[in-house]
Structure 1
Amino acid sequence: MAGFKVLAAALALALGLTVPAAAQNEAQKTALAGIDPLFEAFMTERHAPGLVYGVVADGKLVYVRTLGVQDTASKAPVTADTVFRIASMSKNFTALAALKLRDDGKLRLDAPAETVIPQLKALKYPTTDSPKITVRDLFTHNAGFVTDDPWGDRQLDMSEADFSRFVAAGVPFSRPPGMAFEYSNFGYALAGRAVTNAAGRNYADYVEAAFLKPLGMASTGYDVAKAPAARRAVGYRWQDGAWVEEPSLGPGAFGAMGGLMTTANDYARYMAWELAAWPPRDGAEDGILKRSSIREIVRGQNFLGVAGRANRNDPDDCDRARAYGMGTIVYSDCKLGPHFTHSGGLPGYGSNVLMLPQRGVGVFAFANLTYAPVSVTVREAAIKLVASGAFPVRTQPPSAGLTAMAAAVQRIYAAGDVLAAREALAMNVLLDRDAPRRNAEIAALKAKLGACRAPEPIVADNAMSTMLTLPCERGTLRVRITLAPTTPASMQTMEFSS
């Protein structure tokens, strides 16, 4: 726990934040309490025996709540230390393991997969012009294997030896590699084998040593037999008006795609650590995995898609851009902005996590019900938190270049002459629109708005672009500026508007 607190404090310091006290401010408390009805309704509507959900913000678990029981026989209640299977949310750990091995020079992501998994050398491809599967293809669901959620979920206890024989015997393709995104649990089992062979030890042991132990996730692992019976969430399906216990499989070769078990308290540590990779910044690394490597998981690496809005008649809803990164699905939409997520589903379990890296916030939920579709509720909870305004997008200090150009813009407006800061204009500015025309536009704005004061605090799009807002006597002046790639700084774009 001490390491977790240090991580939270370091992140807050790096971002210029104050680590939140045990009691959040009133806006956050109200917003967090507002998500409870969503999960309570989910429990009732889906007949889930038990559920735990939580919110991680700025490096700590700021909210966690439990509902129902972890075992219908004993009636033991779910707690934040109840062990749930998180199914395909395990894929993120497998992907992180590959990135760590890549950083250590032990795995080449763009090499043919057969160079690290010898059984694939005998693979019969669907066409003579098919490219060979690369290691990256396995981690991005781009290898051409058929979607296999129901089948793959029942393979968790396949032994490594049986898996080797299964691969060597040949597997059919849905399509040639590199043609489309197609979610494949078998592909991630191969990804786990790539980690095993590159690391020189079983993927589960490698993940434990590389990530779980350093993050203090002592209750997280792949072997169901090692989970304390008194804290294990028994998995159920709802059938004929009653809960029926599901068999719990594993460990095995397919665990790399969905075999991880964890608790709310443990998983929050992982979420805080992963979110701490944003924003990019100076400062020491934690020694577990480079921040830049963590950020690679949200780099869409195959075919883009669109998730259509649920209600085409809802003017407040919107379509979502979607791509698969590495062990996570990346989205961007009008409600949440950029975010990434992954669900997990197994016989007996359903889970989801959604992270908002620009806000340092993540929401997760685990249920002990077969394929519990909790992702919809997690998304609704995230939307409520964002809409509350209590978890704003993180802002960073503007770059020195933007600060200098903001001062130049103020001089230009005050003088009514773009030549008042001629040195701040890149060479294209007066070629694109000459000084007399630009000055006429400024004169018209001054007649409408009057004198303006210094810009409000700069909220930058990035180190090279921002929209300045200047309060004026009769309104507000807005100036879009984009810097040119020059040293010293100069503006290639400077557009005034009221």
Structure 2
Amino acid sequence: MTRPSAAVIDAVDALHRQRVADGIAPSSVWGVFDRDGLVASGGAGDRGDGSAPDADTVYRIASCTKSVTATTLLGLVGDGLLSLDAPVTDFVPAFRSVALPTADSPVPTVRMLLTMSAGFPTDDPWGDRQESISDDELDAVLRAGLLFDSVPGTRFAYSNLGYALLGRVVAVVAGVPFTTVAHERVLGPLGLDDTVFAASDARGHVVTGFRRHGSEWEALTTPGPGAFSPIGGLFSTVRDLARWGSWLAGAFDGTTPPFPERVAAARGPLGTAERRAMQQAMRMVPPESLPGSTRSTGYGFGLFVEHDPVVGSIVSHSGGYPGFSAHMRWSVSTGIGVVAFENATQAKVSVAATRAHDLVLADVRSTGGTSTGAGAQTSAQTSVQTSAQTSAQTSAVLPETRAAQGAVQRLLADWDDDRAAVICTPNVPMDVPWDRRRAALAAAVAAVGADLAAAPVAEESTTPTHLRWWLPGEHGRLRVEIRLAPLAVGLVQTLTVRAEPTPA
């Protein structure tokens, strides 16, 4: 295996140091790996004890957990304990109370949940705040009903609720809690001893998550395990997640894993065929679902699969929780990968990790005598950007979305915190407190001289539970955008208001 040069490793390190210098996060840590394990790592900033983070510092990895959830479930499938095409109602009786979107809609199956095609709305802000709820509370959510953006089995939409349901499936089939099954069947056998579902179980230094407010960093509390742990509950280290990526990438080179001492029969939780299946695009991901993506992308089992015109498939997953950002990615053809963590809300460390991976891949291929083909990459980027620009559409929104739009319009014209709490899910003030939202609204209105009582001058929607509209102003427009949580009552999980001044 050709390894990255020292110059490129230095460039990767510089990327992350610059992010800390730019105030994107208090700390940033990274690792480069191949099929044999961790090749290089580094960290910048203060992890909370005056030291820079290293490969053994513990961060929340958020939705990178989903690949572990998928692996745990596929192991049960391989043992003949359930079928991917079984309906979720076989394992979660409360789902029988959910009214499906059409008379001919199928009940979502385990396969649909795995591939994010059960028809649920995208639910990151809401889902990220549900981790600690109990199974009974999740059942209550289901019995109260759900909204659907599409007929189950017909379209991709990123869903935390779907992976929470998969965790329940695992627990029911195995007869013990999901976290126990994941540890006994996946994390333990692979020697991922620093990957845990509770901060108190971590062996290394656990980093605190923060969010930016003005020039200050605000510390955030970390929720404990619960019904939504399968969506993003894991803590891990660069060393452990690099080992995880090495094991998954190793399914394509025909060799045994690099740590057979902890893997029965050098097979691990899954055989190579099942691991390869995880890393195949099962569902096309619409460009609008991945803003800024430069490659066509699909979703497999707990993993995104990008197509690069030069190196072929690149497998990845990001993780974002309040206070944390994580990303892992690797090339199927070379086994070269990158993992990176930061401890700030919406840090989007995936941007740095993607850039770092591109640098490493270019270096390795150049060392091997093959150019990375900059022209081909630019062509691919142009193609995806053009697709994203032309994909904007005004979907037929749900009646619940229209009702929410009216409620938000009235709220903006005469703000009241109690009324806002009735309209929105609890994560909205947790993500940005009401007083800060009021101040931001006033500033945006003043910036463009917006008329909050006017009818919208334009609107667009990408899914039935999403709506974006513009209000007129003397010096521009006010952009308002909402997304509903997957709850039948039609509550707003995302509310953003931005000024768009007229160009000078």
TM-score normalised to structure 1 length: 0.68
**Map of 2:177 onto structure 1:** 202
1:184-230 superposed Cα distances (whole Å, 9 cap, x missing partner): 111111111111112221111111011111111212111123335x7
List aligned pairs for 1:372-387, cutoff 5 A: 372-387=347-362
Does 2:277 match 1:296? yes
Does 2:236 match 1:232? no
Does 2:79 match 1:104? yes
Query: Alpha-carbon deviation of 1:148?
Result: 0.7
Does 2:61 match 1:86? yes
Does 2:9 match 1:35? no
1:445-495 superposed Cα distances (whole Å, 9 cap, x missing partner): xxxxxxxxxxxxxxxxxxxxxxxxxxxxxxxxxxxxxxxxxxxxxxxxxxx
List aligned pairs for 1:58-207, cutoff 5 A: 58-71=35-48, 74-207=49-182
The answer to whether the Cα contact below 8 Å between 1:360 and 1:394 also exists between their aligned partners in 2 is no
The answer to whether the Cα contact below 8 Å between 2:242 and 2:338 also exists between their aligned partners in 1 is no
The answer to whether the Cα contact below 8 Å between 2:63 and 2:318 also exists between their aligned partners in 1 is yes
**Map of 1:12 onto structure 2:** none
Inter-CA distance 394–138: structure 2 relative to 1 (3 Å threshold):
farther
Write the distance in 2 (CA, Å) between the matches of 1:231 and 1:69.
12
The answer to whether the Cα contact below 8 Å between 1:307 and 1:321 also exists between their aligned partners in 2 is no
Write the distance in 1 (CA, Å) between the matches of 2:70 and 2:268.
17
**Map of 2:192 onto structure 1:** 217
1:354-408 superposed Cα distances (whole Å, 9 cap, x missing partner): 111210111010111112111111111111112113587899xxxxxxxxxxxxx
The answer to whether the Cα contact below 8 Å between 1:336 and 1:383 also exists between their aligned partners in 2 is no
- Secondary structure of 2:318 counterpart: strand
1:36-67 superposed Cα distances (whole Å, 9 cap, x missing partner): 22222222234311111001113120101011
**Map of 1:263 onto structure 2:** 237
The answer to whether the Cα contact below 8 Å between 2:17 and 2:45 also exists between their aligned partners in 1 is no
Computing the radius of gyration from Cα coordinates, the structure with the larger value is: 1
Kindly provide the amino acid, as one letter, of the partner of residue 141 in structure 2: F
Write the distance in 2 (CA, Å) between the matches of 1:380 and 1:47.
16
Write the distance in 1 (CA, Å) between the matches of 2:366 and 2:170.
37
Inter-CA distance 286–173: structure 2 relative to 1 (3 Å threshold):
same
Does 2:230 match 1:253? no
Write the distance in 1 (CA, Å) between the matches of 2:339 and 2:217.
24
Inter-CA distance 150–287: structure 2 relative to 1 (3 Å threshold):
closer
List aligned pairs for 1:395-434, cutoff 5 A: none
Kindly provide the amino acid, as one letter, of the partner of residue 148 in structure 1: D
- Secondary structure of 1:154 counterpart: coil
Inter-CA distance 287–354: structure 2 relative to 1 (3 Å threshold):
closer
**Map of 1:363 onto structure 2:** 338
Write the distance in 1 (CA, Å) between the matches of 2:290 and 2:110.
34
Write the distance in 2 (CA, Å) between the matches of 1:357 and 1:391.
17
Gaps of 5+ in 1: 1-16, 312-317, 396-498
Inter-CA distance 359–307: structure 2 relative to 1 (3 Å threshold):
farther
List aligned pairs for 1:464-479, cutoff 5 A: none
Structure 1 runs (4+) deviating above 4 angstroms are 280-285, 306-311, 390-395
Write the distance in 1 (CA, Å) between the matches of 2:17 and 2:255.
39
Kindly provide the amino acid, as one letter, of the partner of residue 151 in structure 2: P
The answer to whether the Cα contact below 8 Å between 2:256 and 2:266 also exists between their aligned partners in 1 is no
Bigger shift: residues 93-102 or 35-44: 35-44
**Map of 1:51 onto structure 2:** 28
Kindly provide the amino acid, as one letter, of the partner of residue 241 in structure 1: S
Gaps of 5+ in 2: 258-264, 371-504
Inter-CA distance 95–154: structure 2 relative to 1 (3 Å threshold):
same
**Map of 2:312 onto structure 1:** 337
1:112-146 superposed Cα distances (whole Å, 9 cap, x missing partner): 11112222122211111111111111111101111
The answer to whether the Cα contact below 8 Å between 1:297 and 1:325 also exists between their aligned partners in 2 is yes
Write the distance in 1 (CA, Å) between the matches of 2:110 and 2:296.
25
The answer to whether the Cα contact below 8 Å between 1:323 and 1:331 also exists between their aligned partners in 2 is yes
Instruction: Give % identity.
Output: 35
The answer to whether the Cα contact below 8 Å between 1:359 and 1:392 also exists between their aligned partners in 2 is no
Inter-CA distance 310–149: structure 2 relative to 1 (3 Å threshold):
closer
The answer to whether the Cα contact below 8 Å between 2:57 and 2:237 also exists between their aligned partners in 1 is yes
Cα RMSD after superposing both structures = 2.6
**Map of 1:461 onto structure 2:** none
Alignment length, in residue pairs? 363
Write the distance in 2 (CA, Å) between the matches of 1:375 and 1:87.
13
Query: Alpha-carbon deviation of 1:297?
Result: 1.1
Write the distance in 1 (CA, Å) between the matches of 2:291 and 2:356.
16
